Protein backbone atom coordinates (compact mmCIF):
# COMPACT_ATOMS: atom_id res chain seq x y z
CA UNK A 1 0.00 0.00 0.00
CA UNK A 2 1.38 3.40 -0.99
CA UNK A 3 1.94 5.22 2.29
CA UNK A 4 4.77 7.73 2.75
CA UNK A 5 5.17 9.79 5.92
CA UNK A 6 8.68 11.13 5.40
CA UNK A 7 11.28 11.80 2.70
CA UNK A 8 14.95 11.26 3.58
CA UNK A 9 14.03 11.31 7.27
CA UNK A 10 12.08 14.57 7.04
CA UNK A 11 8.42 14.53 8.13
CA UNK A 12 5.93 15.28 5.36
CA UNK A 13 3.19 16.53 7.72
CA UNK A 14 5.74 18.86 9.33
CA UNK A 15 6.67 20.32 5.94
CA UNK A 16 3.01 20.64 4.94
CA UNK A 17 2.27 22.57 8.14
CA UNK A 18 5.34 24.75 7.63
CA UNK A 19 4.89 25.62 3.97
CA UNK A 20 1.22 24.93 3.28
CA UNK A 21 -0.05 22.93 0.33
CA UNK A 22 0.51 22.36 -2.46
CA UNK A 23 4.31 22.43 -2.60
CA UNK A 24 7.08 20.92 -4.66
CA UNK A 25 9.73 18.97 -2.77
CA UNK A 26 13.22 18.09 -4.04
CA UNK A 27 15.60 15.62 -2.38
CA UNK A 28 19.11 16.82 -3.25
CA UNK A 29 20.65 13.45 -2.36
CA UNK A 30 18.74 11.78 -5.20
CA UNK A 31 20.02 14.34 -7.71
CA UNK A 32 23.59 13.84 -6.50
CA UNK A 33 23.21 10.08 -6.79
CA UNK A 34 21.94 10.24 -10.36
CA UNK A 35 24.78 12.57 -11.33
CA UNK A 36 27.29 10.16 -9.79
CA UNK A 37 25.73 7.23 -11.65
CA UNK A 38 26.08 8.82 -15.06
CA UNK A 39 29.47 10.46 -14.43
CA UNK A 40 30.90 7.00 -13.72
CA UNK A 41 30.22 6.12 -17.36
CA UNK A 42 30.17 9.29 -19.40
CA UNK A 43 33.16 11.62 -18.95
CA UNK A 44 31.26 14.77 -19.95
CA UNK A 45 27.71 15.32 -18.65
CA UNK A 46 25.55 18.29 -19.59
CA UNK A 47 22.27 18.96 -17.78
CA UNK A 48 19.23 19.70 -19.95
CA UNK A 49 17.87 22.33 -17.62
CA UNK A 50 14.47 22.53 -19.32
CA UNK A 51 13.54 19.58 -17.09
CA UNK A 52 13.88 21.78 -14.01
CA UNK A 53 15.81 25.06 -14.20
CA UNK A 54 15.64 26.07 -10.53
CA UNK A 55 18.76 27.95 -9.43
CA UNK A 56 19.28 25.54 -6.52
CA UNK A 57 19.43 22.61 -8.94
CA UNK A 58 21.70 24.44 -11.37
CA UNK A 59 23.99 25.36 -8.50
CA UNK A 60 24.22 21.71 -7.42
CA UNK A 61 24.91 20.59 -10.98
CA UNK A 62 27.68 23.17 -11.36
CA UNK A 63 29.32 22.13 -8.09
CA UNK A 64 29.31 18.51 -9.24
CA UNK A 65 31.04 19.38 -12.51
CA UNK A 66 27.99 19.05 -14.77
CA UNK A 67 27.80 21.44 -17.74
CA UNK A 68 24.47 22.92 -18.82
CA UNK A 69 22.23 23.06 -21.87
CA UNK A 70 19.91 26.02 -22.46
CA UNK A 71 17.09 26.15 -24.99
CA UNK A 72 16.31 29.86 -24.64
CA UNK A 73 17.93 33.16 -23.77
CA UNK A 74 16.11 32.98 -20.45
CA UNK A 75 17.75 29.67 -19.65
CA UNK A 76 21.14 31.11 -20.59
CA UNK A 77 20.42 33.92 -18.13
CA UNK A 78 19.54 31.37 -15.43
CA UNK A 79 22.76 29.45 -16.00
CA UNK A 80 24.82 32.63 -15.73
CA UNK A 81 22.94 33.58 -12.54
CA UNK A 82 23.75 30.14 -11.13
CA UNK A 83 27.47 30.82 -11.59
CA UNK A 84 28.19 28.94 -14.81
CA UNK A 85 30.99 30.39 -16.96
CA UNK A 86 29.62 31.24 -20.40
CA UNK A 87 31.96 28.68 -21.97
CA UNK A 88 30.16 25.86 -20.11
CA UNK A 89 26.75 26.79 -21.51
CA UNK A 90 25.35 25.60 -24.83
CA UNK A 91 22.36 27.18 -26.56
CA UNK A 92 20.32 24.52 -28.36
CA UNK A 93 17.40 25.57 -30.55
CA UNK A 94 15.91 25.48 -34.02
CA UNK A 95 15.62 29.29 -34.23
CA UNK A 96 17.18 32.39 -32.76
CA UNK A 97 15.20 35.30 -31.39
CA UNK A 98 16.28 38.86 -30.56
CA UNK A 99 17.19 38.04 -26.95
CA UNK A 100 19.17 34.96 -27.95
CA UNK A 101 21.10 36.98 -30.53
CA UNK A 102 22.04 39.50 -27.84
CA UNK A 103 23.13 36.72 -25.47
CA UNK A 104 25.34 35.16 -28.11
CA UNK A 105 26.86 38.50 -29.05
CA UNK A 106 27.66 39.35 -25.44
CA UNK A 107 28.73 35.93 -24.09
CA UNK A 108 31.00 33.22 -25.58
CA UNK A 109 28.38 30.48 -25.20
CA UNK A 110 28.37 27.49 -27.51
CA UNK A 111 25.60 27.24 -30.10
CA UNK A 112 23.86 24.12 -31.33
CA UNK A 113 22.17 24.95 -34.66
CA UNK A 114 18.96 23.09 -35.43
CA UNK A 115 18.22 24.58 -38.85
CA UNK A 116 20.16 25.75 -41.92
CA UNK A 117 18.89 29.29 -41.35
CA UNK A 118 20.57 29.30 -37.95
CA UNK A 119 23.92 28.57 -39.62
CA UNK A 120 23.60 31.67 -41.79
CA UNK A 121 22.43 33.80 -38.89
CA UNK A 122 25.16 32.52 -36.57
CA UNK A 123 27.79 33.50 -39.14
CA UNK A 124 26.46 37.06 -38.98
CA UNK A 125 26.36 37.08 -35.17
CA UNK A 126 29.79 35.53 -34.66
CA UNK A 127 31.89 35.66 -37.85
CA UNK A 128 34.48 32.90 -38.01
CA UNK A 129 32.88 31.04 -35.10
CA UNK A 130 32.32 27.36 -34.37
CA UNK A 131 29.02 25.51 -34.07
CA UNK A 132 27.40 22.23 -33.16
CA UNK A 133 24.74 20.86 -35.50
CA UNK A 134 21.68 19.16 -34.10
CA UNK A 135 20.74 16.34 -36.47
CA UNK A 136 17.33 14.79 -37.07
CA UNK A 137 18.42 11.24 -37.97
CA UNK A 138 15.18 10.46 -39.81
CA UNK A 139 13.56 8.56 -36.95
CA UNK A 140 12.38 9.32 -33.45
CA UNK A 141 10.88 7.77 -30.36
CA UNK A 142 9.48 8.70 -26.97
CA UNK A 143 6.92 7.63 -24.39
CA UNK A 144 4.41 9.75 -26.34
CA UNK A 145 4.20 11.24 -29.84
CA UNK A 146 4.26 14.60 -28.06
CA UNK A 147 7.78 13.89 -26.76
CA UNK A 148 9.09 12.42 -30.03
CA UNK A 149 11.79 14.78 -31.35
CA UNK A 150 12.96 12.90 -34.43
CA UNK A 151 11.59 11.71 -37.75
CA UNK A 152 9.78 13.47 -40.59
CA UNK A 153 7.04 14.82 -38.31
CA UNK A 154 9.44 16.55 -35.94
CA UNK A 155 10.40 20.22 -36.14
CA UNK A 156 13.65 19.54 -34.28
CA UNK A 157 17.10 19.34 -35.80
CA UNK A 158 18.51 19.46 -39.32
CA UNK A 159 17.12 16.73 -41.55
CA UNK A 160 19.88 14.15 -42.05
CA UNK A 161 19.74 14.38 -45.85
CA UNK A 162 20.54 18.11 -45.64
CA UNK A 163 23.86 17.64 -43.83
CA UNK A 164 26.08 17.83 -46.97
CA UNK A 165 24.40 21.10 -47.94
CA UNK A 166 24.86 22.45 -44.39
CA UNK A 167 28.56 21.54 -44.46
CA UNK A 168 28.88 23.47 -47.72
CA UNK A 169 26.89 26.37 -46.27
CA UNK A 170 29.04 26.56 -43.12
CA UNK A 171 32.21 26.62 -45.22
CA UNK A 172 30.75 29.31 -47.45
CA UNK A 173 29.83 31.37 -44.37
CA UNK A 174 33.29 30.96 -42.86
CA UNK A 175 32.32 28.99 -39.76
CA UNK A 176 33.51 25.59 -38.55
CA UNK A 177 31.30 22.64 -37.61
CA UNK A 178 33.05 21.11 -34.61
CA UNK A 179 30.28 19.13 -32.89
CA UNK A 180 27.24 16.95 -33.60
CA UNK A 181 24.18 16.39 -31.43
CA UNK A 182 21.27 13.95 -31.76
CA UNK A 183 18.20 13.56 -29.56
CA UNK A 184 15.13 11.59 -30.63
CA UNK A 185 12.74 11.98 -27.70
CA UNK A 186 12.18 11.88 -23.96
CA UNK A 187 11.61 8.49 -22.38
CA UNK A 188 12.99 6.54 -25.35
CA UNK A 189 13.82 2.89 -24.83
CA UNK A 190 17.28 1.34 -25.10
CA UNK A 191 16.74 -0.02 -28.61
CA UNK A 192 15.89 3.40 -30.03
CA UNK A 193 18.57 5.21 -28.04
CA UNK A 194 21.14 2.77 -29.44
CA UNK A 195 19.98 3.50 -32.99
CA UNK A 196 20.95 7.12 -32.41
CA UNK A 197 24.56 6.12 -31.73
CA UNK A 198 24.77 4.20 -35.00
CA UNK A 199 23.15 7.07 -36.90
CA UNK A 200 25.71 9.45 -35.41
CA UNK A 201 28.60 7.28 -36.59
CA UNK A 202 27.19 7.30 -40.12
CA UNK A 203 26.87 11.11 -40.25
CA UNK A 204 29.58 12.87 -42.24
CA UNK A 205 29.64 16.55 -41.24
CA UNK A 206 33.17 17.33 -42.35
CA UNK A 207 36.68 16.80 -40.96
CA UNK A 208 36.56 19.19 -37.99
CA UNK A 209 34.24 17.29 -35.63
CA UNK A 210 35.77 17.22 -32.14
CA UNK A 211 32.70 16.48 -29.96
CA UNK A 212 29.58 14.34 -30.28
CA UNK A 213 26.57 14.57 -28.00
CA UNK A 214 24.39 11.56 -27.22
CA UNK A 215 21.55 13.91 -26.34
CA UNK A 216 19.19 12.95 -23.56
CA UNK A 217 15.93 11.04 -23.44
CA UNK A 218 17.09 8.50 -20.85
CA UNK A 219 14.02 6.88 -19.29
CA UNK A 220 13.36 6.48 -15.58
CA UNK A 221 11.28 3.77 -13.88
CA UNK A 222 8.02 5.66 -13.31
CA UNK A 223 6.23 2.37 -12.61
CA UNK A 224 7.46 -0.18 -10.10
CA UNK A 225 7.57 -2.74 -12.93
CA UNK A 226 9.83 -0.53 -15.09
CA UNK A 227 13.49 -1.49 -15.35
CA UNK A 228 16.19 1.20 -15.03
CA UNK A 229 18.26 1.73 -18.16
CA UNK A 230 21.56 -0.17 -18.24
CA UNK A 231 24.01 2.76 -18.28
CA UNK A 232 27.06 0.52 -18.73
CA UNK A 233 25.56 -1.06 -21.82
CA UNK A 234 24.44 2.30 -23.17
CA UNK A 235 27.91 3.78 -22.72
CA UNK A 236 29.51 0.80 -24.46
CA UNK A 237 27.28 1.31 -27.50
CA UNK A 238 28.10 5.00 -27.72
CA UNK A 239 31.80 4.56 -27.00
CA UNK A 240 32.16 2.00 -29.78
CA UNK A 241 30.56 4.42 -32.24
CA UNK A 242 32.74 7.27 -30.98
CA UNK A 243 35.80 5.19 -31.75
CA UNK A 244 34.45 4.51 -35.24
CA UNK A 245 34.20 8.26 -35.80
CA UNK A 246 37.75 8.74 -34.48
CA UNK A 247 39.06 6.12 -36.91
CA UNK A 248 37.32 7.81 -39.81
CA UNK A 249 38.49 11.31 -38.93
CA UNK A 250 41.96 10.40 -37.69
CA UNK A 251 41.81 12.43 -34.47
CA UNK A 252 40.31 12.27 -30.97
CA UNK A 253 36.61 12.94 -30.52
CA UNK A 254 35.05 13.72 -27.14
CA UNK A 255 31.61 12.46 -26.15
CA UNK A 256 29.04 14.12 -23.93
CA UNK A 257 25.56 13.15 -22.80
CA UNK A 258 22.72 15.55 -22.06
CA UNK A 259 20.18 14.09 -19.62
CA UNK A 260 17.38 16.07 -18.02
CA UNK A 261 14.68 13.98 -16.40
CA UNK A 262 17.16 11.20 -15.55
CA UNK A 263 18.99 13.54 -13.18
CA UNK A 264 16.04 15.23 -11.46
CA UNK A 265 12.69 13.48 -11.96
CA UNK A 266 12.99 10.97 -9.13
CA UNK A 267 14.15 13.65 -6.70
CA UNK A 268 10.87 15.52 -6.86
CA UNK A 269 7.41 15.27 -5.30
CA UNK A 270 4.26 17.35 -5.56
CA UNK A 271 2.51 17.35 -2.18
CA UNK A 272 -1.16 18.30 -1.97
CA UNK A 273 -4.04 18.17 0.52
CA UNK A 274 -7.36 16.35 0.08
CA UNK A 275 -10.24 18.81 0.31
CA UNK A 276 -13.11 16.62 -0.88
CA UNK A 277 -13.91 12.94 -1.42
CA UNK A 278 -16.71 12.14 -3.84
CA UNK A 279 -18.03 9.16 -5.75
CA UNK A 280 -19.63 8.61 -9.14
CA UNK A 281 -21.12 5.43 -10.53
CA UNK A 282 -17.61 4.42 -11.66
CA UNK A 283 -15.01 6.11 -9.44
CA UNK A 284 -14.07 7.35 -6.02
CA UNK A 285 -12.28 10.69 -6.41
CA UNK A 286 -9.82 12.27 -4.01
CA UNK A 287 -9.97 15.97 -4.90
CA UNK A 288 -6.83 17.89 -4.03
CA UNK A 289 -5.57 21.48 -4.12
CA UNK A 290 -3.21 21.03 -7.08
CA UNK A 291 -3.91 20.28 -10.73
CA UNK A 292 -2.43 20.08 -14.19
CA UNK A 293 -1.37 23.70 -13.78
CA UNK A 294 1.33 22.35 -11.44
CA UNK A 295 2.03 18.98 -13.15
CA UNK A 296 0.78 18.80 -16.71
CA UNK A 297 2.25 15.46 -17.82
CA UNK A 298 -0.81 13.27 -17.05
CA UNK A 299 -3.20 15.69 -18.77
CA UNK A 300 -0.86 16.28 -21.72
CA UNK A 301 -0.12 12.67 -22.66
CA UNK A 302 -1.49 10.33 -20.01
CA UNK A 303 1.84 10.04 -18.19
CA UNK A 304 1.84 7.78 -15.15
CA UNK A 305 2.98 9.09 -11.77
CA UNK A 306 2.96 6.88 -8.71
CA UNK A 307 0.82 8.38 -5.94
CA UNK A 308 1.26 7.85 -2.21
CA UNK A 309 -0.61 9.17 0.79
CA UNK A 310 0.14 10.40 4.28
CA UNK A 311 -2.28 10.98 7.17
CA UNK A 312 -2.40 14.48 8.58
CA UNK A 313 -3.07 13.39 12.16
CA UNK A 314 -0.53 10.59 12.49
CA UNK A 315 -3.05 7.74 12.32
CA UNK A 316 -2.09 4.57 10.45
CA UNK A 317 -3.54 4.39 6.96
CA UNK A 318 -4.98 1.00 6.14
CA UNK A 319 -7.46 -0.66 3.81
CA UNK A 320 -6.64 0.26 0.25
CA UNK A 321 -9.13 0.70 -2.54
CA UNK A 322 -9.06 1.89 -6.16
CA UNK A 323 -9.29 5.68 -6.28
CA UNK A 324 -8.76 8.46 -8.80
CA UNK A 325 -6.97 11.67 -7.88
CA UNK A 326 -8.10 14.93 -9.44
CA UNK A 327 -7.50 18.66 -9.03
CA UNK A 328 -9.50 21.88 -8.68
CA UNK A 329 -9.29 23.21 -12.23
CA UNK A 330 -12.32 23.88 -14.40
CA UNK A 331 -11.30 21.22 -16.94
CA UNK A 332 -12.35 17.58 -17.26
CA UNK A 333 -8.75 16.56 -17.97
CA UNK A 334 -7.59 17.79 -14.55
CA UNK A 335 -7.01 14.23 -13.33
CA UNK A 336 -3.66 12.80 -12.23
CA UNK A 337 -4.79 9.21 -12.78
CA UNK A 338 -5.51 8.96 -16.48
CA UNK A 339 -4.28 7.28 -19.62
CA UNK A 340 -3.49 8.90 -22.95
CA UNK A 341 -6.71 10.19 -24.47
CA UNK A 342 -8.15 11.30 -21.14
CA UNK A 343 -9.35 7.89 -19.94
CA UNK A 344 -9.72 8.07 -16.16
CA UNK A 345 -8.10 5.20 -14.27
CA UNK A 346 -7.36 4.48 -10.60
CA UNK A 347 -4.49 3.58 -8.33
CA UNK A 348 -4.69 1.45 -5.20
CA UNK A 349 -4.70 4.05 -2.41
CA UNK A 350 -5.51 3.94 1.32
CA UNK A 351 -8.88 5.06 2.60
CA UNK A 352 -8.30 8.70 3.35
CA UNK A 353 -9.96 11.58 5.12
CA UNK A 354 -10.28 15.22 4.20
CA UNK A 355 -7.07 16.93 5.29
CA UNK A 356 -4.80 13.98 4.52
CA UNK A 357 -1.93 14.46 2.07
CA UNK A 358 -1.39 13.10 -1.42
CA UNK A 359 2.21 12.73 -2.63
CA UNK A 360 2.76 12.58 -6.39
CA UNK A 361 6.14 10.97 -7.15
CA UNK A 362 8.73 11.67 -9.85
CA UNK A 363 7.65 15.30 -10.21
CA UNK A 364 11.17 16.75 -10.28
CA UNK A 365 11.12 16.98 -14.08
CA UNK A 366 8.55 18.95 -16.04
CA UNK A 367 6.54 19.87 -12.95
CA UNK A 368 7.30 23.45 -11.93
CA UNK A 369 9.15 23.94 -15.23
CA UNK A 370 5.86 23.62 -17.16
CA UNK A 371 3.54 25.09 -14.53
CA UNK A 372 1.09 27.91 -15.22
CA UNK A 373 -1.25 30.26 -13.40
CA UNK A 374 -4.30 28.77 -15.09
CA UNK A 375 -7.50 29.74 -13.24
CA UNK A 376 -5.24 32.28 -11.44
CA UNK A 377 -3.89 29.66 -9.07
CA UNK A 378 -0.54 30.90 -7.67
CA UNK A 379 2.59 28.80 -8.08
CA UNK A 380 3.32 26.49 -5.13
CA UNK A 381 6.29 26.86 -2.81
CA UNK A 382 9.41 24.84 -3.60
CA UNK A 383 11.21 23.05 -0.77
CA UNK A 384 14.72 21.55 -0.67
CA UNK A 385 15.92 18.63 1.44
CA UNK A 386 19.62 18.33 2.19
CA UNK A 387 21.39 16.50 5.03
CA UNK A 388 18.11 15.72 6.78
CA UNK A 389 16.93 19.33 6.82
CA UNK A 390 14.31 21.14 4.78
CA UNK A 391 14.44 24.72 3.55
CA UNK A 392 12.36 27.02 1.38
CA UNK A 393 13.93 27.73 -2.03
CA UNK A 394 10.91 29.46 -3.62
CA UNK A 395 8.13 31.14 -1.61
CA UNK A 396 4.52 30.49 -2.49
CA UNK A 397 3.35 33.00 -5.07
CA UNK A 398 0.80 35.60 -3.95
CA UNK A 399 -2.31 36.56 -5.94
CA UNK A 400 -0.75 39.92 -6.79
CA UNK A 401 2.41 38.19 -8.03
CA UNK A 402 0.27 35.90 -10.18
CA UNK A 403 -1.35 38.98 -11.75
CA UNK A 404 2.18 40.30 -12.26
CA UNK A 405 2.67 43.24 -14.58
CA UNK A 406 -0.90 43.40 -15.87
CA UNK A 407 -2.29 46.90 -16.08
CA UNK A 408 -5.36 48.76 -17.30
CA UNK A 409 -5.09 50.44 -20.70
CA UNK A 410 -4.51 54.15 -21.09
Listing DSSP states for 92-112 in one string gives: EES---HHHHHHHHHS--EEE
User: With bands split at pLDDT 50, 70 and 90, how would you rate the model's confidence at 138?
Assistant: confident
Residues 100 and 235 in one domain: yes
310 assigned to some structural domain: yes
Q: What is the CATH number of the domain that holds 189?
A: 3.20.20.10
Query: Which range, of 117-121, 181-185, 334-338, 371-375, averages the lowest pLDDT?
Result: 181-185
pLDDT for 144 equals: 39
Query: For the whole model, what pTM was predicted?
Result: 0.93
Listing DSSP states for 33-49 in one string gives: HHHHHHHTT-SEEEEEG
226-277 tens-digit pLDDT: 999 899 998 998 999 999 999 999 999 999 999 999 999 999 999 999 999 9
Residues 248 and 333 in one domain: no
Nearest to 133 by CA among 108, 166, 88, 165: 166
288-342 tens-digit pLDDT: 999 999 999 999 999 999 999 999 999 999 889 999 999 999 999 999 999 999 9
Residues known to be catalytic: 330
Instruction: Determine the Cα angle at 329 with ends 323 and 335, to 5°.
Output: 30
Residues 225 and 314 in one domain: no
Domain that includes residue 121, residue range: 29-263
Are 1 and 316 within 8 A, CB to CB? no
Residues 90 and 178 in one domain: yes
41-81 tens-digit pLDDT: 998 999 999 999 999 999 999 999 999 999 999 999 999 99
Instruction: Determine the Cα angle at 179 with ends 177 and 180, to 5°.
Output: 110
Q: Which residues share a beta bridge with 211?
A: 179, 254
- Region 4-30: mean pLDDT is 97
Amino acid sequence: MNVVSEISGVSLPEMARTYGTPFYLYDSAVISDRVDQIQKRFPLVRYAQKANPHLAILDLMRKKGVLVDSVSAGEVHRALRAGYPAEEIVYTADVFDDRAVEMIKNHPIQVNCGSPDMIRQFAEIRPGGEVFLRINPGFGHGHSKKTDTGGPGSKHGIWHEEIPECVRLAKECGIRIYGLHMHIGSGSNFEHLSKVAHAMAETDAGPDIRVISAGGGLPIPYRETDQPIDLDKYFEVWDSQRKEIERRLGHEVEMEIEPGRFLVAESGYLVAKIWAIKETAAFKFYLVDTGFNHLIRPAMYGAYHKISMCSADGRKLEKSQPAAVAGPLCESCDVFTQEDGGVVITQELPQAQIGDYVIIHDAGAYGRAMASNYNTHPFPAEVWIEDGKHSLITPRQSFDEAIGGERFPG
